[in-house]
Each structure stands twice: as structure tokens, then as C-alpha cells.
A and B are shown apart, each in its own frame.
Chain A
Amino acid sequence: MRTRTALAIAFALFLGAARGMAAEDRTIPLAVEEAGFAPAEVEAPTGARVRLEVTNRTAAAIEFESFELNRERVIQPGQTAAVYVSGLDPGRYEFFDDFHHQRRGALLVR
């Protein structure tokens, strides 16, 4: 019974997806190389729905992480992961590879 209520809430939240789908997607490719993110800085317009396509070009697993964007993804060598962020206010949002902290980059929203 309670589980069912919880499921209903989860489903209602899921429907919120429809709202997000309406916005225009902006795809930004982002590679992770041994030396760091390439490019190290990417730009997106305020309020856009951004699809970061993060490709791991290194020989080891990486973790794309950003406290400011509230995202984390482990990406294995050779793989590409889509990381969506949307409705961002203008500003600089830093991200890094949590498995190799010297690799850092930022998303500039303006």
C-alpha cells in the first residue's frame, strides 16, 4: 500500500520529464584526455537545456563530477556519456575528473 503510494509519487515525478522535453537541446561535445578536458571551457546560453557529451579518451575509467552542476558519472575508457543540465543561471560551473583531480574544466553560462 505504502509502496504503491511511493511508486505513484515516483511516477508523477517521472511525468515531469515531459516538461523538460519541450525545451531545445544544445549538444556540447567534451573529451577527457590524459592532459585534461578538451576543450577546458565550454559555453551555453542561460536557461538552455544542455546535453554534454562526455567521451573518455583515456586508458582508464574517469568520473565526470561537478558539485556546482550536481552531477557525477563514471565513464569507462572509450565510452561516451550524455550528461544533461538545464535551466542554469548565468555563471561559471566547474567540473572535474574525480578520479584524477588535476583534470578540471568549466561550463560558462551567459
Chain B
Amino acid sequence: MFETLLIVWRESLEAALIVGVLLTYLARSGQRSGIPYVWAGSLLAVLAALACGVASNDAASHLDADLQELVQAGILFLAVAVLTWMVLWMHRNAAGLGGDLRRKADQALATGRLVGVATIAFVAVFREGLETVLFLWGVLVQRADLTALPFVAAGLGGAALAIATAWLFFRGFRFLSLRRFFRVTGVLLLLVAAGLLVSGVNKLIGLGYLSPIVSQVWSTAWLVRDDSPLGAFLAALVGYRSRPSLAEVLAFVAYVPLMLWALHRVDRARPPDERAPARSAA
């Protein structure tokens, strides 16, 4: 039963962290109009995961397992593209860095961007939600009586625990000044996107479409085990794995510096009065 709780905690954590960072970022950067869209995307994903999980008993067996995995890899790459685009416009919108402010005044968001945040929330929750549903559905099928109920309850408890973990994590962010907050979350979102990119690359390697180049570049299992709580947390947040292949490392190393540079350019492109309010013409 405790194992059930742990499994669902791990499966749900990635979704909870991604939704958490979206909500935190939108709330503090004065883009609150996006918040209902994050919730809508998440809710729709839960419903879709439930529907797919239940339908999978007959329907999914018609869709080849490897094709399903390929579709998932495609969805991951789409998510990376949308998230990248989103980080850049969020960062641009978050201009006007008053160091002491706790929150910026609200701005309206364009429809495309609202759809963007809803899409990210949907993909994050659907991916993990479907696995959780399949797992819990399996528990129900195997027991098929009332003894399954405590396990399902443990599963729901695991999901609640994942949400609590994400909530606690982002609560810590409240103590950052607005300026520092944008820096930290901007970088964090990029790391999340990099993690999704690495997951997509990992799937293509597992399917045999992509060479790992070197199957194991290093092992950090002595430091952070994949199945430790910290390992699970880092895996959910930034796609940590203790024994990455060279192809995965290259994907990460190609993406992160490129995007940090792009963020840096957004910062520099701001009007001078916003960058240095003290240096006015007077």
C-alpha cells in the first residue's frame, strides 16, 4: 500500500511541479488571466487520462505499443517547443523589475498565449495522469473486490502528496524579490523544458530510432539514486537520470546554454529606463 502511494507520488510529481511553476509564474508576473487556462488544461487532461485509461482495455490494444511510444515522443518535442516559446514571452512580459515589489499589476494575455499555457498544463498532466490511471486501473483489475479500495485511496494520497510537495517547493519562492524570482523561475522553466527534451530523446533511443552514441557517459547513482526521493524530485523537475547516454547529454547541453543566451537577450532588449530606474534624464 505504501508502495502504491510512492509510485503515484512519483508519477504525479512532474505534472504537479510543471503546473506549479506555471501558476506561480503567472500569478507573480501579473499575467493572472492565464491561470484559469492552466486549470482548464489540467482538468481536461485528468478527464482525458481517465477516458483513455478506461478505454485502453480494448481500444489501445489496437494501437501498436511502439507507435504509442513514438506519439508520446512527438508530444514531448511539441511540449518543448511550446514551453520554449512561452518562457520567452513570459520573460518579456515580466519586464519592469521593481526589486521590492511582491507582484506586478495584471496584464491581459493574447489568445494564442492562453492556449499555450493550457497546452503545457494539458501535456504535463496527461502524460503522468495516464500512467497513474493505468497503474491504479491495474490494481483494481487484479483485485476486483473491496480489498482494492485501500490501494486506490493510497494512490489518491500519493497524488495529493505530489501536489503538496510542489506547493511547498513553490512557497519557498515567495520570499524572493520579484527580480530574483523571474531569474530563478525563468531558468527553472528552461530546465523543465530541457528535461522534457531529454525524455523525448530517451524514448527515441529506446525505440531504436536514435543512437545513444555512448550508452552511458557517467553514473551519478552513488550520489543521487534514481529511486531516492531527491532523485525522483530531480527527475520530475529537470529530467534527472543517473546514467545518461551521450545523445541525452548532448541534447541538454545544446538546449540549455542556447536558451539562457536567448533569455539574456530578452533582458538586454528592455528599454533602459526599465533596466536602470535610478538613472533618469533628470
- The residue in chain B whose Cβ has the minimal distance to the Cβ of A82 is B66
* B81 touches which of A3, A18, A76, A101 (Cβ 8 Å): A3
A61 and B247 within 8 A (CB): no
List CB contacts (< 8 Å) of B137-182 with chain A. 137-139, 141-142
Where chain B touches its partner, the secondary structure class is helix
> Given that A9-B254, A70-B244, A99-B138 are known contacts, is A84 also in contact with B208, CB under 8 Å in the complex?
yes
> B interface, how many residues as a size bin?
35 or more
* A59 touches which of B141, B202, B208, B254 (Cβ 8 Å): B141
Q: Mark B107-150, 1 if CB is under 8 A from A, else 0.
A: 00000000000000000000000010011011101100000000
A60 and B84 within 8 A (CB): no
- The residue in chain B whose Cβ has the minimal distance to the Cβ of A9 is B254
A76 and B65 within 8 A (CB): yes
A19 to chain B, nearest CB (A): 5
B7 to chain A, nearest CB (A): 7
- The residue in chain B whose Cβ has the minimal distance to the Cβ of A62 is B138
A6 and B65 within 8 A (CB): no
> Given that A67-B226, A76-B61 are known contacts, is A82 also in contact with B212, CB under 8 Å in the complex?
no
Complex-state Cα separation, A77 to B251, whole angstroms: 33
B200 to chain A, nearest CB (A): 8
B268 to chain A, nearest CB (A): 15
> A interface, how many residues as a size bin?
35 or more
A99 and B227 within 8 A (CB): no
B211 and A2 within 8 A (CB): no
- The residue in chain A whose Cβ has the minimal distance to the Cβ of B251 is A13
Complex-state Cα separation, A11 to B132, whole angstroms: 32
Complex-state Cα separation, A79 to B60, whole angstroms: 9
Residue from A61, A80, A89 whose CB has the most chain B CB atoms within 10 Å: A61
B214 and A87 within 8 A (CB): yes
B81 to chain A, nearest CB (A): 6
- The residue in chain A whose Cβ has the minimal distance to the Cβ of B57 is A77
**B276: interface (CB < 8 Å):** no
Q: Mark B5-46, 1 if CB is under 8 A from A, else 0.
A: 001000000000000000000000000000000000000000
- The residue in chain A whose Cβ has the minimal distance to the Cβ of B225 is A67
Complex-state Cα separation, A2 to B137, whole angstroms: 42
A73 to chain B, nearest CB (A): 7
**B101: interface (CB < 8 Å):** no
Complex-state Cα separation, A49 to B208, whole angstroms: 9
Q: Mark A1-24, 1 if CB is under 8 A from B, else 0.
A: 011011101100110111110000
* B137 touches which of A18, A49, A61, A88 (Cβ 8 Å): A61
**B206: interface (CB < 8 Å):** yes
Residues of A participating in the B interface, judged by any CB pair closer than 8 Å = 2-3, 5-7, 9-10, 13-14, 16-20, 49, 51, 59-63, 67-68, 70-71, 73-89, 98-99, 101
